[in-house]
Chains A and B, each alone.
Chain A
Amino acid sequence: MRGPGFLESIEAACPGAVVGSQLEAIDPWIEIAPARIADVCQWLKTAGEPRFDALQCITAVDWFEPDPKKAAKVTWQPHLEMVYHLWSTPARASLVLKVKLPRWSGDVAGHLPELPSVTGVWRTADWHEREVYDLSGVMFTGHPDLRRILCPEDWVGYPLRKDYEMPLDYHGIRGR
């Protein structure tokens, strides 16, 4: 993480965007409000110090325990977590942003949660967001071409969700 004033500088540029942080972790991270992620990224790339000019990776993590016995013991509420790994080429430094999303929009199964796309900030995000949409089921608003990238276009379901079940049949090919 940058100097102590770094969090404050984000807060000053994008008021209300920072909703939490964990600076003691192995990779310290900042939690951003879902609606503000694109603004914060735009600021980090063009105005922040140092400039985070590269996006390394976008990951979606499904925090959901399908086993009811184990689910009774977990300390977190089911949710989706987006993790953005940023990189600054001039400063050779990294930054981690996290965003918490509901698993389904409005808690209706099948309604994908929405998040502003960062494609306009880094072009890397184009394929990475398509992959997250394909495998984890997140709808990126403002993405120019959001369709499946690794799975076939007619695939059903989001394989990296913890409650995903392998289809029994795909065009006559037997699964499981």
Chain B
Amino acid sequence: MSNLIDDDPRIIEFDVRTDEMLVNMGPQHPSTHGVLRLVLRTDGEIVSETEPHIGYLHRCAEKIGENVSPRQWIPYTDRLDYLAAMNMNLGWALTVEKLMRHEVGEKARHLRVLIAELNRVASHLVGMGAYGLDLGTFSPFLYAFREREKILDLFEEACGARLTYSYLTVGGATADLPPGWLQKCEAFLDQFEPIIKEYHALLTTNAIFVKRTAGIGVLSRDMAIDYGCSGPVLRGSGVDQDMRRDGESIYTGMYDGYAFEVAVQKDGRYPRDHTYPSVPKEAVLGDCWHRFFVRMLEVVQSMDLIRQAIDRYAACREPLGEPLKLAEKLPVGDAYLETEAPKGQMGFYIIGNGTSIPWRVRARSSSFSNLSVTHELCRGCLIADVPAIVGSLDIVMGEIDR
């Protein structure tokens, strides 16, 4: 036992107390995923306090929303989580549809599932690749971006844009998929499926990666709920919640008839765990490794959903239907809806007052709440673990600062 204590670098650090020092990390630090500034109070290598400073990317998105019609605000939703712009479009479109009590047709519904899940794969690939960068390994980033590029090519063919799509919109989508697109998408899935193994070899089972992430930044189940964490951060702590299954009927109805299992550890097992590398024995539920692993499982889950959506979409014979008019009048009332975006539960709130311009628009960002646990997770960790912890939350500053 005494050996264990002697070997723990933190105990040695506490033995030789040095002066406290404030270390400023960011706002241009490469590991902060955008313009996030962390002020660390350190004693040697140990971080005693972390304070995130946000707002560097604030551009009054909500105020702009009070001056344009809901369809005109779609391009602003692109710029919230710009790595998953399709999911942002979808969340806002569904919220407006909820207020207007509008329901889209079958074909638009399957198109939305297909596009949203494809964007989830792209977003998780960035999350994975950038996490590798945070931990000092460059190659997974290249492997991830190579595949993401192909998804962006597919999106470019569907809507003309590679990052800010404004494709899914209130009442459906701006255009139908071009001919031959589904075959290209299937070809991508066939080619991508075996590559998942490479990612597991590069990161999930990599001894250094496991040492850097397993048991680091453990977020307990209760704390995750108390801080309003959502998405892979919440599921990584063992909370069985996914808005695609548990959300409101207007959103869950979209996934009606689709078969998928929520990526969460139940009774010590992940769903379909025979197909993946086993959980390393150092890993504790709620640590950085589990948050990362949940994302990896969701990539496969999304690919499965895409395949199902392709079949259903192809079986729809009717036309896609027109989206709602640009200046459609909004009814008096308010509606709030949370959808399962790749980073977590993205909520939109709209108040209509009888005109085509909403009275109030609100975006509840998942990364905003996910980031607010940083100071709890980083208490007592080493400085080198701060990027590992912040990276595992997979935040996007565009969404936090709005």
What is the interface of chain A, defined by CB distance below 8 A to chain B? Answer: 25-27, 53-57, 59, 61-62, 83, 85, 89, 92, 94, 96, 122-124, 126-127, 135, 148-152, 159-160
Contacts and interface: CB of A to CB of B under 8 A. Distances in A.
Given A54-B225, A61-B359, A159-B60, A27 B336 contact: yes
A109 to B, nearest CB: 20
Contacts of A55: 228
A56 B225 CA distance: 10
Secondary structure of the B side of the interface? mixed
B368 A127 contact: yes
A56 B372 contact: no
B372 A26 contact: no
Interface of B: 54-55, 58, 60, 62-63, 98-99, 101, 223, 225-228, 239, 241, 246, 248, 333-336, 338, 345, 347, 349, 351, 359-360, 362, 364, 368-369, 372, 401-402
Given A25-B333, A59-B362, A124-B228, 9 more contacts: A26-B98, A53-B225, A57-B364, A62-B360, A126-B372, A127-B369, A149-B55, A150-B54, A160-B62
Contacts of B402: 150
A57 B225 contact: no
Contacts of B227: 123-124
Given A53-B225, A123-B372, A124-B228, A61 B336 contact: no
A61 B350 CA distance: 10
A64 to B, nearest CB: 11
B349 A26 contact: no
A150 B345 contact: no
Contacts of B336: 27, 56-57, 83, 85, 94, 96
Nearest to A29: B334
Contacts of B99: 26
Task: List 4 tightest A-B contacts by C-beta distance, closest first.
Answer: A124-B228, A57-B364, A150-B55, A92-B246
Contacts of A89: 225, 239, 241
Most chain A Cβ neighbours within 10 Å, of B98, B223, B336, B345:
B336
A159 B60 CA distance: 8
A85 B228 contact: no
Given A54-B225, A56-B338, A122-B228, A159 B63 contact: yes
The listed residue with most B CB atoms (<10 A of its CB), out of A53, A122, A149, A150, is A150
14 contacts: A54-B228, A56-B364, A57-B364, A61-B351, A83-B349, A96-B336, A122-B226, A126-B372, A127-B368, A127-B369, A150-B54, A150-B55, A150-B402, A159-B63
A27 B336 CA distance: 7
A85 B372 contact: no
A62 B360 CA distance: 8
Contact of A26 (B333, B345, B347, B401): B333
Contacts of A122: 226, 228
Nearest to A121: B226
A176 B351 CA distance: 27
Contacts of B63: 159-160
A56 B55 contact: no
Contacts of B55: 148-152
Contacts of A151: 55, 58
B334 A124 contact: no
B401 A150 contact: yes
A56 B345 contact: yes
A54 B243 CA distance: 14
A27 B335 contact: yes
Nearest to B100: A26
A29 to B, nearest CB: 8
Nearest to A61: B360
Nearest to A53: B225
Contacts of A59: 349, 360, 362
